[in-house]
Amino acid sequence: MKLRALLTTGAVTLGLLGTAAPSALADQTGSGQLRVTISPARSQANQLAASPSSNATCTINKISINRFSECEWVTIHVDVIKVIDGKPEIEGTVDFDVKHQMVLNAKSANWSEKFTVSKAKTTRAGAGVAADIAAASGGGTKATVRFSQGHILSSGPANGSVGYTTGPIAKKKINPKAKTHYTYTFTKAGYTPGTVSYDSAVYRCDNFFGTTTGCAIPEVPTGLALLEQPRINEGIRKLRSRGGHYGDPNGGKPLHWMINETQKRKNRGAVCPNTAPPDMKRAGRTSCDEYPFASTYEGGTHLPSNQREITWVNKQENNSQGGAITTWRRNFHVMDHDPFYVIV
């Protein structure tokens, strides 16, 4: 029987997994090994979060994520191999799916994940292969797996969970980004164990504002709504009508938040005059509102002039915008370099 080639994808790096090398196995007649692959390649889809409570939806062989949740659904294949007359041959196979549903907590640094292991489809010696599942995290977060270890994959489906706990986070503190590293160990009497690993999406916990400790998936853009600031959103709409696309959720590039007060002041000073024009003064619109915001990596003169705009507004509207931005950042845990769009 011809040995199945191992699968290698851009999303997951795979190889011969186990404690014995192929050359060593080829000289050991009667020895056995479990080889593991993930098939097919997993792709990733981001979903713009409508609110901190909205969850991602799942699609097979994809990672689907939004700001506070992730669905990950993968297919795993195991070859049961034995060396016969000096040649490694497949004696059986195991194929099954694992579906993860992780939901972060916008108001706590502790959260949970559920996963389901499907009943495996096996051929011949694939019956009786057992699985242990482990999970490890980082960034100050500990992952604890609850699963019936040693589960016989052909016996039926099995459910498990991962509990995530994070130590206290001081005010203004942003924990390092982290992800869950899942490891599967497959065993069968008479065979060398096989292992395979893959990762979750990246997440991050913080207590930046000192009022709401929570966690989010930072690579997923969220949306800042400025519908209550009429002059400001009018200026942004005019810019977009002229081809300005940064921050536009309808096909534009996202903006990226910046936590750097010194650069923020430089960005604003680069585009906003010291005083308002006479006609704006007469209208009571003496506050310069710049777009992209000075508190973004696209702010100031980092973009060409056709991709930026200033709008003169009254101080009340500018203050209202500042409050809306602070509330949005706190609710969605928007930190340095996080992508976002502006809804007007």
* 3 in any annotated domain: no
Choose one of 169, 188, 216: the last residue of a domain: 216
Q: Examine the domain organization and report whether 204 and 66 are in the same domain.
A: yes
The string of pLDDT tens digits covering residues 106-145 is: 999 999 999 999 999 999 999 999 999 999 999 999 999 9
Closest CA to 165 of 100, 213, 133, 200: 213
Of the residues 175, 190, 216, the one at which a domain ends? 216
Residue 104 inside a domain? The answer is yes
Residues 143 and 228 in one domain: no
In a domain, 13, yes or no: no
Tokens found for residue 4: 């199945």
Q: Is residue 1 part of a domain?
A: no
Question: CA-to-CA distance for 39 and 180, rounded, in angstroms?
Answer: 20
DSSP assignment letter at 306:
G
pLDDT for 37 equals: 74
Same domain for 63 and 177: yes
For the chain, give the percent of residues with pLDDT over 90.
77
For residues 162 and 234, state if they share a domain. no
Domain hosting 134: range is 22-216
Output the 3-class SS for 22-90. Answer: HHHHHCCCCCEEEEEEECCCCEEEECCECCCCCCCCCCCCEEEEECCEEEEEEEEEEEEEEEECCEEEE
Do the domain assignments include residue 6?
A: no
Shared domain for 231 and 94, answered yes or no, is no
What is residue 10's predicted lDDT score, i.e. its pLDDT?
A: 22
Q: What is the DSSP string of 118-162?
A: PPPEEEETTTT-EEEEEEE--TTEEEEEE--TTEEGGG--EEEEE
Asked whether residue 75 falls in the same domain as residue 173, the answer is yes
Position 285 scores a pLDDT of: 96
In a domain, 10, yes or no: no
> Between the CA of residue 83 and those of 21, 89, 196, what are the distances in Å?
12, 6, 22
Please tell me the predicted confidence (pLDDT) of residue 27. Answer: 43
In the block, which residue shows the tokens 């340095």? 336
Domain identity same for 179 and 245 = no
pLDDT at 47: 57
In this structure, the answer to whether residues 93 and 153 fall within a common structural domain is: yes
Same structural domain for residues 202 and 146?
yes
**Virtual CA dihedral for 329, 330, 332, 336, nearest 10 degrees?**
50
Of 150, 185, 216, the residue at which a domain comes to its end is 216
3-state secondary structure of 91: strand
Same-domain pairing of 309 and 251:
yes
Number of domains comprising the chain: 2
Query: What is the rounded distance in angstroms from the CA atom of residue 104 to the CA atom of residue 332?
Result: 11
Which residues does the chain have with pLDDT short of 70? 1-31, 39-63
Statement to judge: residues 180 and 51 lie in one domain: yes
Look at residue 6 in the predicted model and tell me its pLDDT.
Answer: 23
